[in-house]
């Protein structure tokens, strides 16, 4: 049973990035299905739930996010209404979508440290992640310029993709985190092998270290040549944080330790000065010389700050940003805004200053406990634990400049690493157990099943819309109607309304033209009442109104 769980986790680790980072609804449904199957097996096999004191801040953060989302979903609101003192959401559907995401992520973290409890098992988990990272790097090398995605999906705009990742920023961060984990494995095996240098295993040890060293170097180069500035920044800070953590916890005389930390900080300062002096060359290397991307992000950040000023206490509701941010941008963007390029700012806008403050308390709580634990571990565990913390920090830095947390291909590496930090092998003597009766097991499974409902409906809507694009008018309208029925989002409403509007152009009979235009106007009016100031719905309503007049 334990081996079956490990096989399921390995399938989950490899499937997530190679299904285009599981960003498509069908891929995320499969991820949830694999996770649900793993939890069913775990609950049948295991009678107790083991946890350490480091699990408390992690559970606290997830429960805050889930609890706030549930409170916000109880009170629907619109942009035309004034700000209130209690939690609200501007789109309940997207809030439920985020709740399912947080429940899934929490399940991944808990599954990781329940299955991988010993030190050797944690190394197996990280080894699986590193091999997956190496496979992504090889995929990017063999299929450059988005060839992997273009051949499988036909998306011609994927020329800057990194292997199976459509966005090079997400692919670069994925490789950067795996490089840090590989570095931790390298030093861990180095320390463990020093005791056996005189034995017959010396040759095997040298070969293994050469292989790991090549993997570390390859992943670092792959992250750099993803040409993502955010990934390079995350990798840079992750490497120096790993060096500082190792210097801080190495059992040596205090003078030697402070001396090495000083030299590391001096090298960090010199590197920062070099980067600052060569920003134009870095932008040219990253193909970012035009500055358009930075201007758009700054405009979106200003819009997010304006939203936060209007809803400062409890925010606009988890997931509600896409229906609000277009009304606060200075110019109309040609593409749909699904996330800010800053996860922390987006989270603050959606859960408000109170929610962000509660989450920040959890982060500080976790950091303090983790650093205390790092100091008390034996040396070979310290180097691996420091690598896990550095990977978490790299992800956190990357989330300052992009929306990595909502990309399962990136976030699951972060969650597996977080689960590795919570493994009982790092907390011997401080591990507690909760007996899981059948009532608790049924409640856990019910929560997971509830979290799968909205993504499943979203996947059904995606399938209907995807296959409806190539159909004739009648078939396309029927497919879009099904998509809106499965997942009644503003985007699906606009898609169906535009399909009705376009269908009226191809009708020769005046009665049918009016019929389709009235249907389009009815949809636009209905959804504008729920989501006022939506630019696409407003434009659809005005177009149909002009045609009917």
Please give the C-alpha separations between residue 165 and each of 139, 149, 236, 285, 397, in angstroms, as whole numbers: 10, 8, 21, 20, 19
Instruction: Give SS3 for 231.
Output: helix
* pTM of the full structure: 0.92
Q: How far is CA 422 from the centre of its chain?
A: 19
Task: Look at residue 280 in the predicted model and tell me its pLDDT.
Answer: 74
DSSP 85: S
Task: Look at residue 271 in the predicted model and tell me its pLDDT.
Answer: 72
Nearest-angstrom CA–CA distance, 367 and 307: 30
pLDDT tier for residue 285 given thresholds of 50, 70 and 90: low
Q: Which H or E run contains 49? A: strand 48-52
- Residue 411 makes CB contacts below 8 A (sequence gap 6+) with 105, 395, 404, 405
Of residues 353, 448, 452, the one with CA closest to residue 68 = 353
Q: Which fold has domain 469-548?
A: 1.25.40
Return the structure tokens found at 457: 């409906």
Widest distance between CA atoms in the chain: 92
Q: Which of 259-268, 469-478, 528-537 has the lowest mean pLDDT?
A: 259-268
Task: Look at residue 357 in the predicted model and tell me its pLDDT.
Answer: 95
Nearest-angstrom CA–CA distance, 448 and 455: 12
Statement: residue 292 has pLDDT above 60:
no
The sign of the CA dihedral 66, 71, 73, 79 is negative
Q: How far is CA 330 from the centre of its chain?
A: 28
pLDDT tens by residue, 487-497 = 999 989 999 99
The sign of the CA dihedral 449, 454, 459, 461 is positive
Task: Look at residue 510 in the predicted model and tell me its pLDDT.
Answer: 82
Average pLDDT rounded to a whole number, residues 469-492: 89
pLDDT tens by residue, 412-450 = 999 999 999 999 999 887 888 888 889 999 999 999 999
pLDDT tens by residue, 354-399 = 999 999 999 999 999 999 999 888 888 888 999 999 999 999 999 9
Average pLDDT rounded to a whole number, residues 462-480: 87
**Length of the chain (residues):** 549
Enumerate the domain spans of the chain. Answer: 2-278+291-443, 469-548
pLDDT tens by residue, 13-48 = 999 999 888 888 999 999 999 999 999 999 988 888
């Amino acid at each position: 049973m334990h081996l079956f769980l490990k096989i399921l986790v390995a399938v989950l680790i490899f499937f997530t990035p190679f299904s285009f980072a599981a960003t498509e609804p069908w891929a995320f449904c499969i991820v949830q299905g694999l996770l649900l199957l793993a939890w069913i097996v775990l609950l049948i096999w295991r009678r107790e739930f083991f946890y350490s004191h480091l699990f408390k801040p992690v559970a606290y953060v997830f429960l805050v996010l889930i609890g706030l989302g549930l409170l916000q979903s109880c009170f629907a609101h619109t942009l035309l209404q004034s700000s209130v003192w209690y939690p609200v959401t501007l789109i309940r559907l997207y809030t439920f979508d985020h709740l399912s995401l947080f429940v899934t992520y929490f399940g991944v973290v808990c599954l990781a440290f329940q299955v991988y409890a010993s030190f050797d098992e944690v190394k197996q988990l990280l080894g699986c992640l590193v091999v997956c990272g190496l496979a992504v790097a090889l995929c990017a090398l063999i299929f450059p310029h988005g060839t992997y995605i273009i051949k499988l999906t036909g998306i011609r705009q994927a020329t800057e993709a990194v292997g199976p990742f459509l966005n090079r920023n997400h692919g670069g961060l994925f490789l950067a985190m795996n490089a840090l984990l590989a570095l931790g494995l390298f030093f861990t095996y180095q320390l463990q092998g020093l005791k056996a240098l005189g034995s017959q295993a010396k040759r095997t040890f040298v070969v293994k270290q050469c292989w790991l060293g090549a993997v570390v170097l390859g992943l670092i180069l792959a992250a750099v040549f993803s040409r993502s500035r955010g990934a390079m920044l995350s990798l840079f800070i992750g490497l120096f944080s790993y060096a500082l953590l190792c210097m801080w916890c190495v059992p040596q005389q205090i003078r030697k330790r402070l001396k090495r930390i000083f030299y590391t900080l001096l090298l960090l300062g010199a590197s920062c000065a070099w980067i600052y002096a060569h920003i134009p060359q870095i932008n040219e290397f990253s193909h970012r010389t035009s500055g358009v991307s930075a201007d758009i992000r700054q405009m979106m950040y200003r819009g997010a700050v304006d939203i936060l000023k209007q809803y400062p206490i409890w925010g606009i509701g988890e997931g509600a940003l896409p229906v609000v941010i277009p009304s606060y941008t200075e110019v109309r963007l040609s593409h749909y805004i699904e996330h800010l390029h800053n996860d922390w700012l987006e989270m603050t806008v959606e859960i408000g200053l109170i929610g962000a403050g509660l989450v920040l308390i959890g982060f500080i709580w976790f950091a303090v406990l983790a650093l205390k634990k790092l100091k008390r571990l034996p040396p070979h565990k310290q180097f691996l634990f420091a690598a896990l913390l550095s990977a978490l920090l790299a992800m956190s830095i990357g989330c300052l400049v992009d929306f990595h947390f909502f990309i399962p291909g990136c976030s699951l590496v972060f969650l597996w690493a977080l689960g590795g930090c919570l493994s009982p092998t790092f907390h011997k003597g401080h591990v507690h157990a909760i007996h899981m009766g059948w009532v608790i097991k049924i409640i856990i499974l019910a929560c997971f099943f509830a979290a799968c409902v909205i993504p499943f409906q979203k996947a059904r809507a995606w399938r209907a819309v995807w296959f409806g694009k190539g159909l004739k008018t009648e078939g396309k309208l029927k497919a879009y109607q099904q998509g809106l029925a499965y997942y009644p989002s503003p985007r699906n409403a606009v898609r169906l309304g535009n399909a009705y509007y376009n269908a009226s152009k191809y009708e020769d009979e005046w009665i049918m033209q009016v019929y389709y235009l009235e249907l389009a106007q009815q949809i636009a009016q209905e959804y504008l009442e729920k989501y006022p100031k939506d630019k696409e719905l407003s434009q659809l309503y005005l177009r149909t109104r002009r045609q009917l007049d």
